[in-house]
Amino acid sequence: KTAMQIVEIMKVMEARHPVVMATSVSAEKSAEIQAALPQATYFEMARICAIQPSVPLAIRPGKLSILTAGTADLPVAEEAAVTAELCGFQVTRLWDVGVAGIHRLLSNRHVIDQSDVLIVAAGMEGALPSVVAGLADCPVVAVPTSVGYGASFNGLAPLLTMLNSCATGIG
């Protein structure tokens, strides 16, 4: 969509809902959107342009944590984190805790234990969601990313790993 198409959509949606989001928005497009809608905020890492209510939404119950295997997974994870926050959830972020440095994950076991839902983004071989699900007693949303090199096949390898996981509770 063009920036002006997004502006028109956001205007219509703003009249109906306190939170309006446009995803996969480049910095250049966000500048055009913000020129037309000064109340819009741009979240650069998440690539989200959003209109938020002047009064924050009530905090929703539950603890949502988002984990990434590596720093290359951050844009996907930030998109999930910002979306959840805009919807009223409190989010704990745990970045760069992949299986290549498993000690970083294990030293943050309390985050897993205290969470009601975990969103786990991973590229490469996509092993992190299975490891996390083996440690967690809550639902794990596995999110394959297309980052990586070698045989990751633009995200196909992590997707297949996640689909084939024998750990329970993965979606």
The pLDDT, as a whole number, for residue 54 is: 82
pLDDT tier for residue 148 given thresholds of 50, 70 and 90: low
Q: Has residue 131 got a pLDDT over 90?
A: yes
Separation of alpha carbons 31 and 104, rounded Å: 37
13 phi, psi to nearest 5 deg: -70, -35
* pLDDT at position 110 over 70: yes
Predicted pLDDT of residue 150: 67
- Res 168: pLDDT: 81
| Residue 130 scores a pLDDT above 70 | yes
Using a pLDDT cut of 90, give the percent of the chain over it.
71
Report pLDDT for 143. 93
Alpha-carbon gap, residue 135 to 20, rounded angstroms:
35
Q: Identify which of 98, 96, 138 has the alpha carbon closest to the alpha carbon of residue 118.
A: 138
Model's pTM, two decimal places?
0.89
> What domains are there in the chain, each with its CATH number?
3-51 (no CATH), 64-164 (3.40.50.1970)
Express each pLDDT in 45-103 by its tens digit.
999 999 998 887 889 999 999 999 988 899 999 999 999 999 999 999 999 999 888 99
